[in-house]
Amino acid sequence: MRTAPTTTESPIHFWSPPDLPGLEFDPFLSRMLHEEPVSRIRLPNGAGHAWLVTRHADVRLVSADPRFSRRAVLGRDVTRVAPHFIPMDGATAFADPPDHTRMRRVVAGAFTARSMRRLRDRAQQVLDGLLDEMERHGSPADLVAHVARPFPQAMVSELMGVPARDRESMAHWTDGILSAAAGRTASERAKAALADRFAALIGAARRAPAARLPHQVPADGDARREQLVDVLADGVEAGTIGFDEAVGLAVLIQIGGTHAVRNNSANMVYALLTHPHQLARLRAEPALVPRAVDELLRYIPHRNAVGLARIALEDVEVGGVTIPAGDAVYVSYLSANRDPEVFADPERLDLDRDDAASHLAFAHGPHYCPGATLARLESEVLLATLWDRFPGLRLAVPEDELRWQRGVLIRGPEELPVRW
Ligand code: FLV
Ligand code: FLV
């Protein structure tokens, strides 16, 4: 007989993510990390309870161990923050190896080293153009509207091969999907609209494979073949992935590539503007940029509460607690990034720390962010360029007058008014 005594002993904490200002860390998450590192929670939507795993070592275990399944989440009304689920049913987020491995291998075709070199050059061009426009607009200006929003939007469209005319509506739908407050119907509608658009783009790429034959392509032909919409269409043609899987993949990469990077970039600039000694350190030593990006990724609480659960397929001991088969489990990459077992003085933003690269901001295991290289290069180009162009850059309003998005899954400022 299976016994799991901790199940009946541990309390169930109701966790409704607060709308926190700035980069304030969720006090509930801190308390769990330090006092009850494997706990039970109930979130505002869905049914029942789930486990919350907060320590770095335990988060790594749960996110890489095949005894915890994403596939098994499908069809279950798991307790969660938003009324809806973010990914499409056919997306990688809901797949386990070996299916997951097969799908991810197709995506890797758009993230080759050559493709990333091309995108780094393109990122610099795009950003320089946006900063020119911001300069023409004049001080003060909103850094979210001028840079943090359009920059990743342009880059993910480059990666994907999304036509310029579709970019704004895609960004708009993406925001709708990642709102917990918009309501289920509005979010599901946004998700369906985005999926329809990608289905059309992938369908068109399937019907036009001849355009990608070497003797017909223009000079940028090689680059075009690496665009994700084409890579996915080729994967569908070859029978490696299903059409719905291809659409699910495109939707997730669009969401991460626009919404997540917009907010994280704005948060990075905000963090540096409000830590002047750290900013001075970065400006004195530009070679520090890649390490600074890691430390900012570690330090910034990217999201409210937790994302997508996994289901324990058998009883598993995690941090001395037995999680029973069938229970839902959430990991917190945010709390893992503040674990004092791994990070010295974890609450301190310190660009010189040598342990920042152990952060889990891009997750861990098979679901590790497929866009991490692109996200990282965008942040590197941004932090290496912004203060060269605007050496006097500073907040245009007192810090406590900044407005932070409410009822969202991914945290960030509404606007970031700056002067120079
Ligand atoms: O891709 C995911 C993701 C991205 C992100 O930027 C934040 C997240 O919390 C998540 C997530 O929870 C699940 C993903 O699949
Ligand atoms: O924020 C979430 C999220 C973000 C994301 O970019 C991809 C996702 O799959 C998710 C998710 O599943 C749940 C989230 O709360």
pLDDT, one tens digit for every residue, the chain (420 residues): 444 444 457 899 999 999 999 999 999 999 999 999 999 999 999 999 999 999 999 999 999 999 999 999 999 999 999 999 999 999 999 999 999 999 999 998 889 889 999 999 999 999 999 999 999 999 999 999 999 999 999 999 999 999 888 888 998 899 889 888 888 899 999 999 999 999 999 999 988 764 554 443 444 445 556 799 999 999 999 999 999 999 999 999 999 999 999 999 999 999 999 999 999 999 999 999 999 999 999 999 999 999 999 999 999 999 999 999 999 999 999 999 999 999 999 999 999 999 999 999 999 999 999 999 999 999 999 999 999 999 999 999 999 999 999 999 999 999 999 999
Q: Name the region of 289 (left: φ>0; alpha: ψ -120 to 50; beta: rest).
A: alpha
In a domain, 344, yes or no: yes
Distance of CA 286 from the midpoint of ligand 2 (Å): 33
In a domain, 4, yes or no: no
Binding site membership of 87 for ligand 2 (Cβ less than 6 Å): yes
pLDDT of 222? 53
DSSP string, 312-364: ESS-EEETTEEEPTT-EEEE-HHHHTT-TTTSSSTTS--TT-S-GGG--TT--
Distance of CA 393 from the midpoint of ligand 1 (Å): 31
Q: Is 315 exposed, middle or buried (0-12, 13-18, 19+ CB in 10 A)?
A: middle
**Residue 256 CA, closest ligand 1 atom number:** 6
* CB atoms closer than 10 angstroms to residue 98: 8
251 and 91 Cβ atoms separated by less than 8 Å: yes
In a domain, 383, yes or no: yes
Most informative mutation of 86, 107, 177, 300 for ligand 1 (most atoms within 8 A of CB): 86
pLDDT of 135? 98
Distance of CA 86 from the midpoint of ligand 2 (Å): 5
In a domain, 393, yes or no: yes
Return the CATH number at 269: 1.10.630.10
**How many independent structural domains does the chain possess?**
1
Find the domain containing 390 and state its range: 12-419
In a domain, 42, yes or no: yes
Distance of CA 238 from the midpoint of ligand 1 (Å): 29
Cα 300 from Cα 53, distance rounded (Å)? 19
339 and 55 Cβ atoms separated by less than 8 Å: yes
Q: How many helices (H) and strands (E) does the chain have?
A: 17, 11
Cα 280 from Cα 167, distance rounded (Å)? 36
pLDDT of 207? 81
In a domain, 313, yes or no: yes
Cα 100 from Cα 365, distance rounded (Å)? 12
Distance of CA 248 from the midpoint of ligand 1 (Å): 14
* Ligand nearest, relative to CA of residue 362: 1
372 and 258 Cβ atoms separated by less than 8 Å: no
* Ligand nearest, relative to CA of residue 331: 1
270 and 416 Cβ atoms separated by less than 8 Å: yes
Q: What is the value of pTM for the model shown?
A: 0.94
CA-CA-CA-CA torsion sign (204, 377, 148, 350): positive
Beta bridge partners of 41: 13, 50
Q: Both ends of the chain: CA-CA distance in Å?
A: 68
In a domain, 7, yes or no: no
**Residue 303 CA, closest ligand 2 atom number:** 1
Tokens of 4: 């799991």
pLDDT of 208? 77
User: How big is the chain, counted in residues?
Assistant: 420
Binding site membership of 409 for ligand 2 (Cβ less than 6 Å): yes
In a domain, 290, yes or no: yes
Binding site membership of 81 for ligand 2 (Cβ less than 6 Å): yes
CA-CA-CA-CA torsion sign (42, 321, 92, 363): positive
